[in-house]
Structure 1
Amino acid sequence: MSDKHPPNHPDARTRIDKWLWAARFFKHRTGATDAVDGGKVKLNGVAVKPSREVKAGDRLDITIGDDVFTVIVRDIAEKRGPASVAQQLYEETAESIARRSEAREMRRFAATPGADLHGRPTKRDRRQIRRFTDF
């Protein structure tokens, strides 16, 4: 295909799952591969396979749990390094940062599911449950 380039070369490329792992979005490369296979990662707005190569300037939309990161690839790394190096591999967009902080605030003020439930159901609760389950 193409010649191998050093990581900071403008034409450098690497597999998307390897880059996600090196940029520390996932603890294990298999987690990155599973996320790409599951459609949780989009390259320039398109779902891709884990073997697809990324290069500097590509846009990635990464969904991890409830958070969606939109990042621009700035550099390529073949190996996983310290967090300080990993943070230099990408730049998160301002819209992504704002969207994630707004979602974090909404989750903080939302009631946790089941917060109103305390212990075992009462006799009254059991009767209501039976009404729904016994026909």
Structure 2
Amino acid sequence: MRLDKFLKISRLIKRRTLAKEVADKGRITMNGLQAKASSNVKVGDVLAIQFGQKLVTVKIEMLQESTKKDDAANMFTIVKEERLGEKK
């Protein structure tokens, strides 16, 4: 399954076009490497997605072609969330 499609179906990102833009700007890494919107994802892959000043790392648990809102959260596990650029 394509990365942009996974992000939309899992509801990590609301729209597929937005998922494509985020990937094209280099804000997504997959297993430590820069990911493109067309990259193929598989179960067990680890994604790091930068949302503004927040970095969210998730592990893919399952892939489905379509899902209901309640089941979307089961497609991934959040490994960690961290704020970027915070200085004290």
Question: TM-score, with normalisation over the residues of structure 2?
Answer: 0.86
Counterpart in the other structure of 1:19: 6
Greater relative CO (CA pairs within 8 A, separation 6+): 2
Post-superposition shift, 1:51?
1.0
SS in structure 1 at match of 2:26 = coil
- Confirm whether residue 29 of structure 1 aligns to residue 16 of structure 2: yes
- Quick one: percent identity of the two aligned structures? 31
Post-superposition shift, 1:45?
0.8
Count of aligned positions = 85
Please, which runs of 5 or more residues in structure 2 have no aligned partner?
none
Runs of 4+ in 1 over 6 A off after TM superposition: none
Counterpart in the other structure of 2:36: 49
Please, which runs of 5 or more residues in structure 1 have no aligned partner?
1-13, 111-135
Post-superposition shift, 1:62?
0.6
- Confirm whether residue 85 of structure 1 aligns to residue 71 of structure 2: yes
Q: Aligned partners of 1:81, 1:41: CA distance in 2, in Å?
A: 24
Post-superposition shift, 1:28?
0.8
CA offset digits 1:7-43 (Å, max 9, x no partner): xxxxxxx100000111111111000011111111111
CA RMSD, Structure 1 to Structure 2 (Å): 1.7
Post-superposition shift, 1:49?
1.6
CA offset digits 1:106-135 (Å, max 9, x no partner): 7xxx9xxxxxxxxxxxxxxxxxxxxxxxxx
Counterpart in the other structure of 1:59: 46
Q: Aligned partners of 2:72, 2:6: CA distance in 1, in Å?
A: 10
Post-superposition shift, 1:80?
4.8
Which residue identity lines up with residue 28 of structure 1 in the other structure? R
Post-superposition shift, 1:48?
1.9
